[in-house]
């Protein structure tokens, strides 16, 4: 039996911080049995103590100044659940410099400034773990870091944003338009008042940067990712996708190609027969292919107080094992090498199958002009649907599915097609799985 006590401090007692506190306060016996360590929630720093919380904080230091917690020599592990870039970055780096291990759920920070933070952690011989930053309660980081350590990761396909997945599910299952589904998601608490980061693809891109970094043991440049969100998708597109046997999902894609890495986030038509097409509502799933294991899928709740708290506590237990090492004994917390950089393949060279939707004036010759432009660039059509118009303005939707073509060829073709006077607005281009 071990009597070692691990003192934990939490910065920010919001949704995630509260989940962590609840687990540390109620599951200490279970954690002791499984790790042979005693975990003690010693202090919490929170700027707003006026919020009513369902927690008994007797015996815990309740602070308003995060720096006081970070400076406390008795705290072994600091949990950062404030979110955002600053002061979170300064707090984490200060804690690491004070030789404390840090656990964070902050995907935006890890994706954009992880390189700097991992360096500071390495220099100070401490760990910085981030299981909760991707997939909430799903142990995907540990899955990649440990379970699949023997594999070269060939591809990752992830449904990583619960808000977008909830909206797309409502559009598919209840025939809602995007705006109606978004409002419903906001009422149910699945979407923020400002949903830009979720529906615009930025949040999934943060998470993809982290998964790509783990898959390649390097740090990737978040700004280089190709990102499209779900806002242009209409009920009409959902119905067309359904008629072709597809479900539209916001997909985060990682592929290790010969000429570099392919990292993209965009709405994707997934065949209804694929497991990812059945991942609905606010749930997340990550489909990973390793060269030895083959295909694997991780599935579960991607957010929320309890699942995210569960992920953070797994990191706390992981890091606490390092506290038992004797001074000078080597420890290894790093699965990402901050000095190692990987190049992304240029998006133009990537080949995809496409879904194209145009509104065109209902007159003869329109289709042959569109297919002519596509044909000039070697893009061949695999299926096509044209609806009859009942609308006063006489514009009809035309939808085409193509065989594989390069992104560059498609970009050029769309630029030309959008110039035709019979094309209303801009055409919509989605990719097929």
Ligand X SMILES: NC(=O)c1ccc[n+]([C@@H]2O[C@H](COP(=O)([O-])OP(=O)(O)OC[C@H]3O[C@@H](n4cnc5c(N)ncnc54)[C@H](OP(=O)(O)O)[C@@H]3O)[C@@H](O)[C@H]2O)c1
Q: Which of 13, 128, 250, 313 touches ligand X by CB under 6 A?
A: 13
Angle between the N-to-C axes of helices 15-26 and 28-35, in degrees from 0 to 180, rounded to the nearest 10: 70
Q: Which of 75, 303, 344, 373 touches ligand X by CB under 6 A?
A: 303
Q: Which stretch binds ligand X (CB under 6 A): 80-88, 192-200, 250-258, 380-388?
A: 80-88
Nearest residue to ligand X by CB is 14
Q: Which of 24, 31, 39, 46 touches ligand X by CB under 6 A?
A: 46
Residues 306-325 that bind ligand X (CB under 6 A): 308
E strand segments, 302-380: 351-352, 354-361
State yes or no: residue 147 binds ligand X (CB under 6 A).
Answer: no
Return the number of the residue (265 or 401) whose C-beta is nearest ligand X. 265
State yes or no: residue 81 binds ligand X (CB under 6 A).
Answer: yes
Contact 382, 353 (CB under 8 A): yes
Residue 413, classed as helix, strand or coil, is helix
Site string for ligand X, 102-141 (x = CB under 6 A): ---xxx------------------------x---x-----
* Smallest distance from ligand X to CB 12, Å: 3
How many chain residues are in contact with ligand X, going by CB under 6 A?
Answer: 24
**Alpha helices of 36-106 — where are they, by DSSP H?**
66-71, 88-97
Angstrom distance (rounded) from CA 70 to CA 80? 10
φ/ψ bin of 304: left (φ > 0), alpha (ψ from -120 to 50), beta (otherwise):
left
Which of 22, 40, 207, 249 does the annotation list as catalytic? 207
Return the number of the residue (132 or 400) whose C-beta is nearest ligand X. 132
φ/ψ bin of 252: left (φ > 0), alpha (ψ from -120 to 50), beta (otherwise):
beta
Pick from 271, 239, 249: nearest CA to 397: 239
Q: Which of 304, 338, 397, 427 touches ligand X by CB under 6 A?
A: 304
Return the number of the residue (213 or 402) whose C-beta is nearest ligand X. 213
Contact 100, 76 (CB under 8 A): yes
Catalytic, 207? Answer yes
Contact 12, 80 (CB under 8 A): yes
Angstrom distance (rounded) from CA 218 to CA 220? 6
Angstrom distance (rounded) from CA 411 to CA 350? 12
Return the number of the residue (83 or 346) whose C-beta is nearest ligand X. 83
Site string for ligand X, 262-301 (x = CB under 6 A): ----------------------------------------
Q: Using CB under 6 A, list all residues that contact ligand X.
A: 11-17, 45-48, 66, 81-83, 87, 105-107, 132, 136, 303-304, 308
- Tell me which residues are annotated as active site: 207
């Amino acid at each position: 039996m071990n009597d070692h006590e691990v003192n934990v401090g939490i910065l920010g007692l919001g949704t995630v911080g509260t989940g962590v506190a609840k687990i540390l306060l109620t599951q200490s016996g279970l954690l002791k049995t499984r790790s042979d360590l005693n975990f003690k929630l010693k202090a919490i720093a929170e700027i707003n103590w006026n919020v009513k919380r369902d927690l008994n904080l007797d015996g815990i230091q309740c602070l308003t100044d995060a720096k006081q917690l970070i400076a406390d020599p008795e705290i072994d592990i600091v949990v950062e659940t404030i979110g955002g870039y600053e002061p979170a970055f300064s707090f984490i780096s200060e804690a690491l410099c004070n030789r404390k291990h840090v656990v964070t759920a902050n995907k935006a920070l890890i994706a954009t400034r992880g390189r700097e933070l991992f360096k500071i952690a390495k220099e100070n011989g401490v760990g910085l773990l981030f299981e909760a930053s991707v997939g909430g309660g799903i142990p995907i980081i540990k899955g990649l870091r440990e379970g699949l350590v023997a594999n070269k990761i060939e591809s990752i396909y992830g449904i990583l944003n619960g808000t977008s997945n909830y909206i797309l599910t409502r559009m598919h299952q209840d025939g809602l338009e995007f705006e109606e589904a978004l409002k419903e998601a906001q009422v149910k608490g699945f979407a923020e008042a400002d949903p830009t980061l979720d529906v615009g693809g930025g949040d999934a891109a943060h998470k993809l940067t982290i998964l790509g970094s783990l898959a390649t043991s390097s740090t990737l440049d978040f700004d280089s990712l190709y990102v499209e969100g779900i806002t242009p998708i209409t009920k009409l597109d959902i119905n067309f996708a359904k008629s072709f046997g597809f479900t539209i999902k916001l997909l985060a894609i990682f592929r290790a190609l010969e000429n570099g890495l392919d990292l993209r986030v965009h709405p994707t038509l997934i065949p209804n027969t694929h497991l990812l097409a059945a991942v609905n509502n606010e749930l997340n799933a990550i489909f990973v292919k390793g060269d030895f294991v083959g295909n694997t899928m991780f599935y579960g709740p991607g957010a929320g107080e309890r699942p995210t708290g569960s992920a953070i506590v797994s990191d706390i237990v992981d890091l606490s094992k390092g506290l038992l090492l004797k001074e000078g004994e080597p420890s290894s917390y790093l699965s990402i090498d901050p000095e190692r950089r990987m190049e992304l393949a240029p998006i133009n060279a990537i080949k995809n199958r496409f879904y194209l939707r145009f509104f065109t004036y209902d007159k003869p010759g329109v289709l042959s002009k569109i297919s002519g432009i596509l044909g000039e660039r070697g893009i061949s059509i695999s299926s096509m649907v044209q609806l009859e118009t009942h609308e006063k303005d006489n514009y009809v939707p035309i939808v085409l599915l193509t065989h594989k073509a390069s992104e560059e060829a498609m970009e050029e073709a769309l630029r030309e097609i959008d110039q035709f006077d019979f094309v209303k607005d801009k055409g919509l281009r989605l990719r097929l799985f």
